[in-house]
Amino acid sequence: MIRRLGVEEEFLIVDSVDGHPVALGDVLERLSDYPGLTSEMKQEQIETCTLPRISLRELAQDITAGRKSADAAARLVGARAVALATSPMPVTSTVAPGERCDRLMRRFGLTAVEQLTCGCHVHVEIGSDEEGVAVLDRIRIWLPVLQAISANSPYWNGVDSAYASYRAQAWNRWPTTGPAEIYGSAAGYYSEIEQVLGSGVPLDKANLYFDSRLSHKHPTVEVRVADVCLFADDTVLLAALVRALVETAARQWCDGVPPVPASASRLRLAAWQASRYGLDGELADPVTGKPRPASEVVAALLDHLRPVLEEHGELGTVEFLLFQVMTRGTGAARQREAHARTGSLRGVIADAVHSSNLPVAPLVDVKDAPLISTEQSQ
């Protein structure tokens, strides 16, 4: 069985001359005929969404088409859509019109006012809520590794933050973000949701920003830890890793393998380490919580997923894409290299515009793989 997956990417809209963010989200949504292009809470960003796909090749084509469509619409009005998870330039962001956005601003104050971050969310199909919660309980220890691989936000409002993913720091100001404890069952998951909503803090289910969750719109697990990736290749890699994590976790559940009993507080430390250093230092070992070189932790992730990736015919593609990001560096590393080379944040943005539109490397396709049934149960 192989599961359908889909990807949402958020892009920063910047002026094509000087690179400062511009409030054109609603304009781009109206200009484009691409069905997966939508505006967000802040007008300086735009989101694309792929179709549900089995093949990584088709997913890569969707990702490329979404990036091209967002950028093409932006170019019509003197702007560019760029895969930057935070703005290198100083910015005062613009709230999208509407009652819900007004309520978010009133409720969360400066946290919402300053929130201009671009993430990447991966959806993977599940057969039932029970399976989905079992997956959430078992993938949680690996999510900081995905955060490190996708790190693409070293700059924040004109300064180098010293983080590889400062988006993660800004995003985690929301009270409903971060890792959760082990739920144990679908009943445990929904009980926790009811208690969080019953606190009166979040506005609604859409305001629950956990690192991973059951989608309230689709029969999927949604993984939300990643920065939008500078390179489309890294987005494909992220999606492939998330799907393999979901399938591996579902099989562990069926085989009676319990989740690793890591506390949410320990996972917050692991996420901070990933946010701070990306792949350029140590990461927390997902099982022991002890620091290890990033290369060893990434290798452990690959070993964990190897049986599923081999079965799906994706091991070669994932190995190549992982080797590429480990040798080339993350988006954060590329941004800092561009700054060192050009001496300016404008140069960082110009380089990012180019990098965002690079074609995806040739991929191994998945052939004749059956769909997972959406009625699957344990």
Show the tokens assigned to 226: 């990643």
Question: What gap in Å lies between CA 123 and CA 238, rounded to an integer?
Answer: 11
Mean of pLDDT over the chain: 94
Partnered with residue 177 across adjacent β-strands are 209
**For position 373, what pLDDT does the model report?**
37
For residues 244 and 309, is the Cβ–Cβ distance under 8 A?
yes
CA dihedral 268, 273, 279, 280 (to 10 degrees): 180
**For position 361, what pLDDT does the model report?**
78
For residues 44 and 91, is the Cβ–Cβ distance under 8 A?
yes
Question: What gap in Å lies between CA 162 and CA 251, rounded to an integer?
Answer: 39
Partnered with residue 293 across adjacent β-strands are 282
Residue 275 has pLDDT above 70, yes or no: yes
Show the tokens assigned to 373: 């049934």
Domains and CATH numbers, the chain: 5-356 (3.30.590.20)
- The percentage of residues in the chain with a pLDDT greater than 70, rounded to a whole number, is 96
Residues 26-85 pLDDT 10s: 999 998 888 889 999 999 999 999 999 999 999 999 999 999 999 999 999 999 999 999
Q: What share of residues in the chain are helix, strand, coil (percent, to 5)? A: 45, 15, 35
Question: What gap in Å lies between CA 318 and CA 166, rounded to an integer?
Answer: 26
Angstrom distances, CA of residue 229 to CA of 5, 132, 300: 17, 25, 22
Dihedral sign (CA 2, 213, 29, 226): negative
Residue 310 has pLDDT above 60, yes or no: yes
Residue 96 has pLDDT above 90, yes or no: yes
For residues 318 and 299, is the Cβ–Cβ distance under 8 A?
no
Q: How confident is the model at residue 369 (pLDDT cuts 50, 70, 90)?
A: very low
Q: How confident is the model at residue 130 (pLDDT cuts 50, 70, 90)?
A: very high
Residue owning tokens 């979901």: 246
Show the tokens assigned to 247: 């399938």
Strand bridging mode 79-82 / 5-15: antiparallel
Greatest Cα-to-Cα distance within the chain, rounded to the nearest angstrom = 57
Comparing C-alpha atoms, which of 29, 15, 42 is closest to residue 69? 29
Residue 252 has pLDDT above 90, yes or no: yes
Q: What is the pTM of this model?
A: 0.94
Residues 179-237 pLDDT 10s: 999 999 999 999 999 999 999 999 999 999 999 999 989 999 999 999 999 999 999 99
Q: How confident is the model at residue 370 (pLDDT cuts 50, 70, 90)?
A: very low
**For position 107, what pLDDT does the model report?**
96
Show the tokens assigned to 24: 């054109």
Residue 115 has pLDDT above 50, yes or no: yes
